[in-house]
């Protein structure tokens, strides 16, 4: 018997990206937002007007990392710093250890990830958490402006 792996649909991914985009713009800021599947491949992406070009690939890589490692990107960075190890240790140039990438779990299984890049790690994490909550069907977190 094969168990079905939960998957994120593109309509839900686009809705999460748009909700995060609206929140970013309401703050008068700009960022890049990515939603990836369980393999870390993009489902939805937007780089808001005025966001740094580097924020785009970084958001995609944060989503990739969070999905592939099934943990927040911030945790990878903290673990590596504590060990005095570089992210290159993982042998995959797409892995990043900055905050802002969070896995999406449905039924306890990683179905993908949401990532935000362009703000502080704390803001990126909070905004990504909003997208994760939407995709998991959780109550939305309260975001401070």
**Per-residue confidence (pLDDT) for residue 82, from 0 to 100:** 86
Alpha-carbon gap, residue 124 to 31, rounded angstroms = 9
**Per-residue confidence (pLDDT) for residue 2, from 0 to 100:** 52
Q: Give the Cβ contact number of residue 27 at 10 Å.
A: 15
Q: Give the Cβ contact number of residue 78 at 10 Å.
A: 13
**Per-residue confidence (pLDDT) for residue 69, from 0 to 100:** 95
Positive or negative, the Cα torsion across 19, 23, 28, 30? negative
Series of mean pLDDT values for 10-residue runs along the chain (145 residues): 76 96 97 97 97 97 97 91 78 91 95 97 97 85 52
Token pair for residue 118? 């362009």
Write down the pTM of the prediction: 0.90
**Per-residue confidence (pLDDT) for residue 140, from 0 to 100:** 55
> Residue 48 in contact with residue 32, Cβ under 8 Å?
yes
């Amino acid at each position: 018997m094969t168990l079905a792996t939960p998957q994120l649909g593109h309509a839900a991914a686009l809705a999460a990206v748009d909700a995060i985009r609206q929140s970013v713009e309401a703050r008068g800021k700009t960022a890049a937002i990515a939603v990836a599947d369980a393999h870390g491949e993009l489902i939805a992406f937007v780089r808001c007007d005025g966001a740094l070009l580097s924020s785009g690939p970084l958001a995609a890589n944060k989503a990739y990392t969070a999905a592939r490692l099934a943990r927040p990107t911030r945790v990878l960075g903290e673990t590596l710093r504590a060990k005095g190890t570089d992210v290159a240790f993982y042998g995959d140039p797409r892995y990043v250890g900055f905050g802002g990438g969070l896995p999406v779990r449905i039924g306890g299984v990683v179905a993908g990830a949401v990532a935000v890049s362009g703000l502080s790690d704390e803001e990126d994490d909070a905004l990504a958490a909003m997208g994760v909550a939407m995709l998991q069907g959780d109550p939305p977190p309260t975001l401070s402006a």
